[in-house]
């Protein structure tokens, strides 16, 4: 990424107006973006389900997407859950010629056409926070590839809800009780199926494969195992055998292409993936030659996700400021 040059007394750049942004969603992560938003970006409106006549932090709140896009923003910051409506809004943002920074792994994985369309317009479509939250998973995959490390395999625990639920199951709790506790703790959505069934991890594997090898995998073709189909007592028996059950995503590159899977695996305690707890993520990148690289961090939550979004926003501002394109 281009480094921002420092101005001198005799060569001071012209004043640059901040990028005009709109924020999709004002929940846990959206609120964090308001706190972490870097200089050079001015959030002019927020899209939410509930109208707030008083606004939020002095920012107008809209419930009508048409009215929001009528503001003609430079940038759309997306913190909505990864559902169909969010995908439609990002599609609309690309058509409107906006830069996009999003945490939406579902859309980023399933719609590479949107990313290509944005890039064809000279716009950014950044989604570092979609994988790993506070753990720089996509950044590490791209950096290793750029440095000439030919990655052979990637293996990781990519979903915090699965950690929380499996740990509860290992103590003898029922699946329903474990899921309800995960929801109460803020780890699981009202509909936790994407986490439990491995679909969330599958979408993240698609994005890692894209960063590591430049390939796009169909997420629907990735074989997954669901915690909901786990025979009763399995996690407890694994724990009693001095192992720990985890939802593990795997990528492997061979001469025939890249394969991916999400499985429930019994791990030994010396396995770095077994150390994940709650929202913790861990990913091991194994090159064809040399030593593996381990990346760990909190993969979800307000601060890790918002901070990762802020990192993408800062890079966007720096690059376009240097290019003289910030309006």
How confident is the model over 86-91, as a mean pLDDT?
96
Report d(CA 258, CA 315) in Å as an integer: 30
Between 241 and 185, where is the model more confident? Answer: 241
DSSP state of 13: P
How confident is the model over 205-228, as a mean pLDDT?
97
How confident is the model over 126-142, as a mean pLDDT?
94
pLDDT at 324: 57
Report d(CA 91, CA 96) in Å as an integer: 9
8 φ/ψ sector (left φ>0, alpha ψ -120 to 50, else beta):
beta
Q: Do 318 and 4 form a contact (C-beta atoms < 8 A)?
A: yes
For CATH 3.40.50.720, list the domain ranges present in the chain. Answer: 19-133+303-322
| 11 pLDDT above the threshold of 70 | no
* Bridge partners for 46 per DSSP: 23, 61
* Bridge partners for 56 per DSSP: 59
Between 228 and 82, where is the model more confident? Answer: 228
Q: What are phi and psi of 133, to 5 degrees?
A: 55, -110
277 φ/ψ sector (left φ>0, alpha ψ -120 to 50, else beta):
beta
Report d(CA 191, CA 183) in Å as an integer: 9
Q: Do 135 and 279 form a contact (C-beta atoms < 8 A)?
A: no
How confident is the model over 161-189, as a mean pLDDT?
93
How confident is the model over 14-25, as a mean pLDDT?
84
Between 223 and 255, where is the model more confident? Answer: 223
Between 229 and 279, where is the model more confident? Answer: 229
Q: Which CATH superfamily is domain 137-299 in?
A: Dihydrodipicolinate Reductase; domain 2 (3.30.360.10)
* pLDDT tens digits for range 232-282: 999 999 999 999 999 999 999 988 899 999 999 999 999 999 999 998 999
Q: Do 126 and 312 form a contact (C-beta atoms < 8 A)?
A: yes
pLDDT at 1: 36
* pLDDT tens digits for range 285-321: 999 999 999 999 998 888 889 999 999 999 999 887 7
| 326 pLDDT above the threshold of 60 | no
Q: Do 104 and 200 form a contact (C-beta atoms < 8 A)?
A: no
Predicted confidence band at 325 (pLDDT cuts at 50, 70, 90)? Answer: low
Q: Is 51 exposed, middle or buried (0-12, 13-18, 19+ CB in 10 A)?
A: exposed
Report d(CA 160, CA 92) in Å as an integer: 31
Predicted confidence band at 327 (pLDDT cuts at 50, 70, 90)? Answer: very low
Q: Do 17 and 39 form a contact (C-beta atoms < 8 A)?
A: no
Percent of the chain with pLDDT over 70: 94
DSSP state of 14: P
Radius of gyration (C-alpha) of the chain in whole angstroms: 21
* pLDDT tens digits for range 271-282: 999 999 998 999
pLDDT at 114: 97
pLDDT at 2: 33
pLDDT at 55: 85
Q: Do 126 and 114 form a contact (C-beta atoms < 8 A)?
A: no
This prediction's pTM: 0.90
For CATH 3.30.360.10, list the domain ranges present in the chain. Answer: 137-299
- Mean pLDDT score across all residues of the chain: 91
Predicted confidence band at 133 (pLDDT cuts at 50, 70, 90)? Answer: confident
| 164 pLDDT above the threshold of 60 | yes
| 6 pLDDT above the threshold of 80 | no
* Strands, sheet with 99-102, edge to edge from the N-terminal-most edge strand: 61-62, 41-47, 19-24, 75-78, 99-102, 125-126
Q: What is the dihedral of CA 162, 109, 285, 244, to 10 degrees?
A: 10
DSSP state of 122: T
Task: List the one residue out of 192, 212, 211, 190 whose CA is nearest residue 200.
Answer: 192
How confident is the model over 205-234, as a mean pLDDT?
97
**What CATH number has the domain spanning 19-133+303-322?**
3.40.50.720
pLDDT at 302: 85
Q: Look up tokens 């599958």; give the residue.
A: 202
3-state secondary structure of 8: coil
How many residues in the chain? 327
Describe the crossing of helices 112-120 and 84-95 by its angle, rounded to 10 degrees. 20
């Amino acid at each position: 990424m281009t480094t921002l040059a420092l101005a001198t007394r005799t060569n001071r750049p012209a004043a640059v107006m901040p990028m005009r942004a709109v924020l999709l969603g004002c929940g846990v992560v959206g609120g964090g973006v308001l706190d972490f938003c870097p200089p050079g970006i001015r959030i002019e409106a927020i899209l939410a389900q509930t109208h707030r006549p008083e606004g939020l932090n002095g920012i107008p709140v809209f419930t009508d997407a048409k009215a929001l896009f009528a503001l003609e923003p430079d940038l759309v910051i997306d913190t909505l859950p990864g559902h169909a409506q969010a995908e439609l809004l990002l599609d609309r943002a690309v058509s409107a010629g906006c830069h996009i920074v999003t945490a939406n792994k579902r859309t980023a994985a399933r719609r590479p056409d949107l990313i290509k369309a944005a890039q064809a317009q000279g716009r950014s479509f950044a989604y570092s926070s979609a994988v790993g939250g506070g753990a720089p998973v996509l950044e590490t995959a791209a950096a290793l590839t750029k440095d000439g490390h030919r990655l052979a395999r990637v293996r990781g625990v990519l979903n915090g809800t699965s950690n929380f639920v499996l740990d509860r199951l290992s103590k003898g709790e029922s699946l329903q009780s474990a899921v309800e506790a995960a929801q109460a703790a803020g780890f699981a959505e009202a509909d936790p199926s994407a986490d439990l069934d491995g679909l969330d991890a599958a979408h993240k594997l698609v994005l890692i494969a894209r960063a590591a090898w430049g390939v796009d995998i169909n997420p629907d073709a990735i074989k997954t195992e669901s915690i909901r189909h786990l025979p009763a007592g399995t996690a407890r028996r694994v724990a009693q055998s001095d192992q720990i059950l985890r939802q593990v995503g795997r990528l492997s590159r061979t001469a025939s292409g890249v394969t991916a899977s999400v499985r429930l695996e019994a791990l030994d305690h010396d396995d770095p993936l077994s150390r994940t707890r709650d929202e913790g993520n861990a990913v091991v990148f194994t090159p064809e030659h040399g030593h593996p690289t381990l990346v760990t961090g909190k993969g979800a939550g307000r601060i890790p996700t918002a901070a990762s979004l802020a990192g993408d926003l800062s890079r966007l501002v720096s690059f376009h400021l240097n290019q003289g394109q910030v309006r």
